[in-house]
């Protein structure tokens, strides 16, 4: 098993060494540059041979490795990591099923999923978060390396003989009995749009300076009284755990809480900070970055619908009072480097971007629906919002 990593710092090298020692003591034959024979060698050839001949290659996430993997670093920096990434990316392209199983992105303490290069699919493929450099911390990784699942499927049993239950319907009703249609959320147009506090206004400069393309969702109450300030202070300490439980924040990701007129939890590391907030007005909000492509950021309809569904579920689970009717809306900011496409096209080296694209794409908060619809059908609400967002994006780009 070969470990590929960037030499970000002496502390990072020490952490990788500890990981290698833990795995070696558990029977894993680890190949690490720090253990190589002290003779002059061609390090590129040395790494190439081990990458090709190892059963697994661990990719240790770090800021430098992510920059190398995403092509954001000068060709003279981190030459060793650049040589390894070239080989790894090429083999993944040549035989994706085999190398997807072979490449294991690992996130060490103090690092985040966002430091995994995009070509390794940090958000749509498995990765391994080592919460602490102990035997317990490497358990998930070790089970993958040794093919020992934590849960084992029981033996397949015999199919029981289940006699039908007697019908409870009178005979005359059988002709009318049909499968009920799934109720869909009912949207109604408001006389005029409600005011929305968007992320750029909500966050101060310390959080607002980042320029990654952010997908933001806001649920605005249709009326109601302000939330008590004491409740907002309590929310400031619980929003981070709510965000982590829905995958908005990684377990190892730094999160800063804040409360005044707004309870906010927002990531403190990286250029694309996710966040969740509750305003005293009753508005609740959440945001996260769009997938970063080789050029700009990709707007994939299915990906956006999935992300909005998860954000709706997150906000629906917050312990705040809700009025019978709410007005959800979504937007993208900044949108100048966003292009519509597919997640599978993220490594393209040429894309079409409109020179007329606006910096902000924001749906007006002018249609309301029942709060119960948001709770019971977040996927259907997300689909509707996604369709409207794409229509507005195409209009603004033309």
Among candidates 260, 265, 264, which has minimal Cα distance to 249?
Answer: 265
Q: What gap in Å lies between CA 253 and CA 114, rounded to an integer?
A: 9
Tell me what pLDDT residue 141 has: 95
First-residue to last-residue Cα distance in the chain: 51
Tell me what pLDDT residue 55 has: 95
Task: Enter the pTM of the model.
Answer: 0.54
Tell me what pLDDT residue 207 has: 44
The DSSP bridge partners found for residue 286 are 217, 276
For residue 375, give both structure tokens. Answer: 């709770």
Mean pLDDT by 10 residues, the chain (398 residues): 95 96 96 94 94 96 92 81 93 93 96 92 92 95 94 91 78 51 81 91 59 90 80 72 78 59 67 78 90 90 93 88 89 89 85 74 93 92 93 79
Contacts of 350 (CB under 8 A, 6+ apart): 295
Q: What gap in Å lies between CA 263 and CA 242, rounded to an integer?
A: 13
Yes or no: say if 279 and 217 are a contact pair by the CB < 8 Å rule.
Answer: no
């Amino acid at each position: 098993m070969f470990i590929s990593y960037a030499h970000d710092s002496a502390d990072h090298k020490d952490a990788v060494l500890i990981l290698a020692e833990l795995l070696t003591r558990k029977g894993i034959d680890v190949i690490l540059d720090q253990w190589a024979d002290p003779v002059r060698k061609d390090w590129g050839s040395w790494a190439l041979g081990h990458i090709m001949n190892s059963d697994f290659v661990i990719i240790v996430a770090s800021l430098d490795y992510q920059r190398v993997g995403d092509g954001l670093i000068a060709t003279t920096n981190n030459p060793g990591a650049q040589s390894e990434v070239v080989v790894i990316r090429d083999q993944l392209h040549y035989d994706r099923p085999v190398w997807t199983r072979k490449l294991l992105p690992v996130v060490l303490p103090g690092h985040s999923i966002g430091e995994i290069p995009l070509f390794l699919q940090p958000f749509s493929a498995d990765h391994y978060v080592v919460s602490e450099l102990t035997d317990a911390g490497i358990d998930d990784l070790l089970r993958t390396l040794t093919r020992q699942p934590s849960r084992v499927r029981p033996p397949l049993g015999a199919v029981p003989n289940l006699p039908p239950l007697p019908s409870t319907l009178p005979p005359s009703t059988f002709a009318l009995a049909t499968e009920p249609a799934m109720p869909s959320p009912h949207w109604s147009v408001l006389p005029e749009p409600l005011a929305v506090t968007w992320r750029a206004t909500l966050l101060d400069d310390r959080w607002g300076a980042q320029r990654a393309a952010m997908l933001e969702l806001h649920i605005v109450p249709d009326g109601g009284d302000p939330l008590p300030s004491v409740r907002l202070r309590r929310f400031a300490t619980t929003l981070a755990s709510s965000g982590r439980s829905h995958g908005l924040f990684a377990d190892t990701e730094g999160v800063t809480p804040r409360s005044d007129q707004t309870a906010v939890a927002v990531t403190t590391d990286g250029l694309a900070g996710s966040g969740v907030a509750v305003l005293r007005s009753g508005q609740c909000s959440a945001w996260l970055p769009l997938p970063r492509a080789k050029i700009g950021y990709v707007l994939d309809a299915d990906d956006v619908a999935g992300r909005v569904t998860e954000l709706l579920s997150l906000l629906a689970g917050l312990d705040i009072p809700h009025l019978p009717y709410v007005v959800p809306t979504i937007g993208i900011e900044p949108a100048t480097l966003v292009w519509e496409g597919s997640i599978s096209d993220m490594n393209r080296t040429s894309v079409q971007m409109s020179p007329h694209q606006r910096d902000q794409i924001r749906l007006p908060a002018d249609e309301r629906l029942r709060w119960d619809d948001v709770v019971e059908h977040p996927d259907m609400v997300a689909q509707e919002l996604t369709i409207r967002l794409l229509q507005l994006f195409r209009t603004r780009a033309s």
